[in-house]
Amino acid sequence: MTDTNTTAHGKWSSRFAYILAATGSAVGLGNIWKFPYITGENGGGAFVLVYLGCVLLIGIPIMIAETMLGRRSQRNPVETMELLTKEANADSNWHYLGWMGVIAGLLILSYYSVIAGWASAYILKAFTGSFIDADASAIKTIFDQFIASPIQLIFWHTLFMMATMLIVVRGVNNGLEKAVQYLMPALFVLMFLLVAYAMTTGSYFQGLHFLFTPDWSKLTSNAVLTAMGHAFFTLSLGMGSIMVYGSYLSKDISISKTVFIIAGADTIVALLAGIAIFPIVFANNLHPNSGPGLIFETLPIAFGAMTGGWLMGILFFILLAVAALTSSISLIEPTVAWLVENRRFTREKACLWSGGITWLLGLGTVFSFNIWSDFKLFDRSIFQILDYLTANLMLPIGGFCIAIFAGWIMKTQHSEEELAMPTPAYYQAWKILISYIAPAAVFFVFLHVIGVL
Ligand code: PHE
């Protein structure tokens, strides 16, 4: 399949550019906002271990598969599935997989943008000195008052969606590549500084203990599902983001090596966030299970108390917002690429439509934190439903199908040729993981949750 239509479909300028962009997609709110609070809600150590196991045994093989599918077809996810299905003489229903990805991306972005709006608002709060010398209860009041205001949340959500659309309209490799180049190293440095602060709180080891000592009695079947779902979410898997980024990758680059780098960086950022946050939680008598507000109720305490905290607070929330931006771009890119390449939309019109619909959906999440906070379905708010539906169900199901497609439907000769692994043993290991281990693991977790196992 060498007839790549590179005129309509972009290309990364280098291997490094691709690694940066894919890491930009993977590293985001999932690592810094979501990982700590779901770890807190699910009891710590045991949950973290399950998550790490899922990254290694399910996430990495599927990331290799998803990148491979995209690169082989050099098309958007919907067309990728159509094209590769034909190449393998398989059932045409496989193209629904591309569709599910497009829908999952928009649903995720609808709430992702609201939370990224919180991070953006906190840049301003840090700048105006709101956190200086504030204690835990003052910081909590700031957060509670903020999310109680639909107007403020809508304002920041709108701003964030506009920023996303402005970048997406220019195409993936103009601007995006350059932004990530500086962002990633800066984010690493800041995370290390926060960990250094956490060491001074007096609760550092209590934090580490919570994160890394497993208490298996706290692990419910839903916690296992959340940990697995998060492995997909944090690596941007199961919905076409990594597929579409892979489709912009040139043929001479080793997929498996880049995947290890990307997944490694993603995991390190998440662990650093946890190591920085839990000591602050314990030192201030806060609760690990405070939910989605956790980082907004803890880190500002650190910024308010430490020397240079004013500047660090500003920098941190800028980096968090930009890290979210480089992920949100990848959430909407599959849809935009499909509208442009298949529906003959201009890039502007594609952005306007997909961005507009996502923005509208996001209002559900905004209101779930205030005027509609009493509205519950299956005991969950709109935000929680969207999160559960996408991260715990759609992404693992999408990933499961990708694994089956790459392991069983695609011809071995084709995947071998596309992956070009250094030795046949590597290829064999991947093939076993993708054909048996990863799909079986997803399947068993689902069976467990619905109570069959
Ligand atoms: N991986 C991103 C994060 O951790 C979120 C994301 C999910 C992006 C799915 C793209 C696709 O923040």
Question: Is residue 30 assigned to a domain?
Answer: yes
What residue numbers bound the domain in which 47 lies? 15-449
Does ligand 1 have an atom closer than 6 angstroms to the CB of 298?
A: no
pLDDT of 6 reads: 39
Looking at the structure of the chain, the number of domains it has is 1
Question: Is residue 5 assigned to a domain?
Answer: no
CB–CB of 236/242 below 8 Å? Answer: yes
Query: What does 296-349 look like in DSSP terms, one character per residue?
Result: HHHHHHHHHHSTTHHHHHHHHHHHHHHHHHHHHHHHHHHHHHHHHHHS---HHH
Q: By three-state DSSP, how is residue 266 classified?
A: helix
pLDDT of 307 reads: 84
Lowest mean pLDDT among 92-96, 161-165, 448-452: 448-452
- Name the band, by pLDDT with cuts 50, 70 and 90, for residue 176: low
Q: Which CATH number does the domain housing residue 403 bear?
A: 1.10.4160
Does ligand 1 have an atom closer than 6 angstroms to the CB of 271?
A: no
Lowest mean pLDDT among 42-46, 95-99, 134-138, 426-430: 95-99
Does ligand 1 have an atom closer than 6 angstroms to the CB of 106?
A: no
Number of H-type helices and E-type strands within the chain: 22, 0
Question: Is residue 8 assigned to a domain?
Answer: no
The predicted model gives 143-163 an average pLDDT of 97
- Name the band, by pLDDT with cuts 50, 70 and 90, for residue 2: very low
Determine what percent of the chain is predicted with pLDDT higher than 70.
96
Does ligand 1 have an atom closer than 6 angstroms to the CB of 167?
A: no
- Name the band, by pLDDT with cuts 50, 70 and 90, for residue 10: confident
Question: Is residue 370 assigned to a domain?
Answer: yes
pLDDT tens per residue, range 371-421: 999 999 989 999 999 999 999 999 999 999 999 999 999 999 999 999 999
Protein residue with its CA nearest to atom 8 in ligand 1: 236
Does ligand 1 have an atom closer than 6 angstroms to the CB of 239?
A: yes
Does ligand 1 have an atom closer than 6 angstroms to the CB of 320?
A: no
Token pair in block for residue 331: 């959430």
Q: By three-state DSSP, how is residue 90 classified?
A: coil
Question: Is residue 4 assigned to a domain?
Answer: no
Measure 22 CA to ligand 1 centroid, in angstroms: 10
Does ligand 1 have an atom closer than 6 angstroms to the CB of 394?
A: no
Helices (H), 200-283: 204-212, 221-234, 241-247, 255-283
Does ligand 1 have an atom closer than 6 angstroms to the CB of 25?
A: yes
Average per-residue pLDDT for the chain: 92
Does ligand 1 have an atom closer than 6 angstroms to the CB of 31?
A: yes
Question: Is residue 10 assigned to a domain?
Answer: no
CA 120 from centre of chain: 18
- Name the band, by pLDDT with cuts 50, 70 and 90, for residue 4: very low
Measure 232 CA to ligand 1 centroid, in angstroms: 8
How many other CB atoms are found less than 10 A from the CB of residue 203?
Answer: 20
Does ligand 1 have an atom closer than 6 angstroms to the CB of 241?
A: yes
- pLDDT beyond 70 at 115: yes
Residues in the chain: 453
Protein residue with its CA nearest to atom 9 in ligand 1: 236
Question: Is residue 130 assigned to a domain?
Answer: yes
Question: Is residue 400 assigned to a domain?
Answer: yes
- Name the band, by pLDDT with cuts 50, 70 and 90, for residue 170: confident
Residue 317 neighbours by CB under 8 Å, 6+ apart:
119, 120, 122, 123, 126
Protein residue with its CA nearest to atom 11 in ligand 1: 236
In the DSSP assignment, the letter for residue 56 is I
Measure 327 CA to ligand 1 centroid, in angstroms: 6
pTM of the model: 0.94
Atom of ligand 1 nearest to the CA of 28: 12
**CA–CA gap between residue 304 and residue 295 (Å, rounded):** 14
Protein residue with its CA nearest to atom 10 in ligand 1: 236
pLDDT tens per residue, range 310-362: 998 999 999 899 899 989 999 998 899 889 988 999 999 999 999 999 999 99
Whose CA is closest to 404, among 90, 150, 158, 118?
90
Does ligand 1 have an atom closer than 6 angstroms to the CB of 232?
A: no
Does ligand 1 have an atom closer than 6 angstroms to the CB of 18?
A: no
Token pair in block for residue 9: 């479909």
Cα three-residue angle 195-198-202, rounded to 5 degrees: 150
